[in-house]
Amino acid sequence: MTHNSDKPAPGAAMIRIGVDTGGTFTDFIVQDKDGLRVLKTLSTPGNPAEAVVSGIPQLAGDKAIDLIHGSTVATNALLEKKGAKIALVTNRGFEDILEIGRQNRSRLYDPAYSKSLLPVLRKLRFGVYGRIDKNGEEHESLDEDRLVEIAGLLRKMQVEAVAVCFLFSFLNPCHEKKAKDILASAGMPIFTSHEILSEFREFERTATTVINAYVAPAVSSYLADMETRIRPERFKIMQSNGGVISRKIAAAQPVRTILSGPAGGVAGAFAVGRQAGFTKLITFDMGGTSTDVSLIDNALSMSNEASVTGFPVRVPMIDIHTVGAGGGSIAAIDAGGALGVGPESAGADPGPACYGKGEKITVTDANLFCGRLSTERFLGGAMPLFPDRTAKRIKDMAKKAGLEPQELATGIIDIANTTMEKAIRVISVEKGYDPARFTLVSFGGAGGMHAVFLARLLHIPRVLVPKNPGLLSAFGMLCSDIIKDYSLTVMEKMEPESIAVIKKRITLGKRACADLAAEGVSPADMRLQQYVDMRYAGQSYEIIVAFDKNVENGFHRAHERIYGFSDKKRPVEIVNIRVRAKGKIEKPVLQMPEPGNEKPDMAALAGETRTVFDTRPVLTRIYERDYLRPKNRIYGPAIIREYSSTIVIPESAMAEVDCFGNLVIDTAC
């Protein structure tokens, strides 16, 4: 079932579709001459492509398609340990670099701690004589005969992909290029570290290249299958950095798509928030299996220090923190009699008990039992809910726990809220930000039922709920420009006019422009942003700072904010230079609806229900969001339902519809 949500926008040459595959639902949003239309379907965990392939014809028919896709294939391959059989080729004596890693231990007081399983077996790690020194000069020639021998072994052992990582290849990649040429005879894809991550720190560079190789065959196969079955006119993939890239680049560097879906949500939240006049945002994306949060202080928060399954991934990503608390998170009583929620999820199959197949109680079931989720018009009436199945299971668990059913249900919701509160504290309080100075942007199918309660826990005064919040990740993909990130280690003293730094910046800039041109971007639509990684001499870690005439002062200010001090007398180093290249693409055109009055039209009022707040039932009005207009005010307690989500307005809160159709909720009116 499709759902019209906007007036017609200026027609484009073809239909643009944003698709986000999640754990429970796959979301579609379409921009064409008829405006924006949306669709949600249950995901197909066995093969995510099935949900995409079956959903697109419902929206596109036989029209030409410009497809922007957020994929979970790389993420799932990593989390489920179902990547390819890969090999690592490196310098002789460095075969065990992944195993050695760094001395950091993520769980310092866990006596059962053990390192994650390596994605490449010991027998498939090959060392080769040859060395580039710290100045980028050849210290020892490459053993090409050994590489020919390794190519034969790779064929015999049926390896699916190879990662090549040599010391100091970021200064001089000649050995990696030779190795790639020789190993290509083995007939499988070869990935070199200087193409994936041209930076120092060999452990991180090796790990990133290995992970890229590990997920590449699955991602490449998935994208090729999608292209064959859907045959889009254009096909772009959402990256973890908030931009899109071509299918071809995504297949070659899939490590850049690990946070593909969540990044689309943050990009969409930033676009909607900025349009509504808010640029200090905390994004809250609560879906079926997890919750993703990110902080935006006038710009997307970026990180180059992500860790996935215990290994560093040093490609630019939006700084997103994820916890296992979603609508499908399972509630259970442990051996000690304590109630717990998540991280295990019921997913799309079997799903929550109220979906008709699942046997376990989830957060969605608790919301339904408390009257916060309406059984009518769920997904616009396309999907029935089964409240009796939920009620029976909650009553049985409550009896076992010695609680009243309403106490159990609200307890499940409270535990989920506490988990999500901690997640927001990680990206705000723990990094020196006061949540009370930000606006909480709520989206995801389950976000609207928890947003105000979560905001109150953190003293956030305002919640912004965009239109179609359950599909904001897909919408964000339509709003995202082509973005390409480039980096290079330089290790220079802080001299902005350094000839070496200037030359390397120019080289990166030319490469960026050439790559954008190859993707069809005109020079007028290209934008280059320059950054540097800086540190005080003697430090081990860097801070990314925008490169301009005040770059040194910017570094001192950033150091003060993050660490509480700065030292302007201490020498400063430029470690890496970075270029972010943006190619502007067409954005959705949203029409402003006609304004109404403070009081909603009677057509918006759908009835009343009993909703449990603080274990007591309260008479609550139900509104249909499609009939709300700008200036309308809704006073809690109230429930606002729409196609992709349900928004709960508790007592002492008030929601107002702004001129763009967003709900702006005052959490303590």
DSSP letters for 375-440: STTGGGGTS---HHHHHHHHHHHHHHHT--HHHHHHHHHHHHHHHHHHHHHHHTGGGT--GGGSEE
Residue 615 sits in the same domain as residue 570: no
Residue 289 forms part of a structural domain: no
Residue 121 sits in the same domain as residue 70: no
pLDDT in tens, 493-532: 887 566 677 778 888 999 999 999 998 899 999 999 999 9
- What is residue 106's predicted lDDT score, i.e. its pLDDT? 74
How many domains, the chain?
4
Which of 246, 283, 245, 239 lies closest to 261 in space, CA to CA?
A: 239
Residue 551 sits in the same domain as residue 569: yes
pLDDT of 233 over the 60 cut: yes
- What is residue 11's predicted lDDT score, i.e. its pLDDT? 44
Neighbours of 539 (CB within 10 A): 14
Residue 175 sits in the same domain as residue 98: yes
Residue 61 sits in the same domain as residue 46: yes
Residue 443 forms part of a structural domain: no
Residue 462 forms part of a structural domain: no
pTM of the model: 0.88
CATH of the domain at 211: 3.40.50
Residue 366 forms part of a structural domain: no
pLDDT in tens, 462-475: 999 999 999 999 99
Question: Which tokens hold the place of 540?
Answer: 């081990």
Residue 138 sits in the same domain as residue 50: no
Rounded Cα–Cα distance for residues 649 and 372 (Å): 10
Residue 71 sits in the same domain as residue 167: no
Which of 485, 488, 495 lies closest to 551 in space, CA to CA?
A: 495
How long is the chain? 669
Specify the higher pLDDT residue, 1 or 631.
631
Of 521, 550, 583, the position where a domain reaches its end is 583
Which of 470, 441, 452, 385 lies closest to 643 in space, CA to CA?
A: 470
Residue 154 sits in the same domain as residue 93: yes
Collapsed DSSP state (helix, strand, coil) of residue 500: helix
Residue 35 forms part of a structural domain: yes
Q: Of the given ranges (14-23, 353-362, 575-584), which has the lowest mean pLDDT? A: 14-23
DSSP state of 242: S
The average confidence (pLDDT) of the chain is: 90
Of 254, 275, 303, the position where a domain reaches its end is 254
Boundaries of domain holding 174: 85-218
Residue 95 sits in the same domain as residue 211: yes
Residue 51 sits in the same domain as residue 150: no
Residue 96 sits in the same domain as residue 189: yes
Residues contacting 639, CB < 8 A, separation 6+: 372, 374, 609, 611, 620, 621, 622, 623, 646, 647, 648, 649
DSSP state of 16: E
Residue 212 forms part of a structural domain: yes
Strand locations in 422-571 (E): 439-443, 462-465, 482-493, 526-536, 543-546
Residue 12 sits in the same domain as residue 70: yes
Burial category of 130 from C-beta neighbours within 10 Å (exposed 0-12, middle 13-18, buried 19 and up): buried
pLDDT in tens, 645-657: 999 999 999 999 9
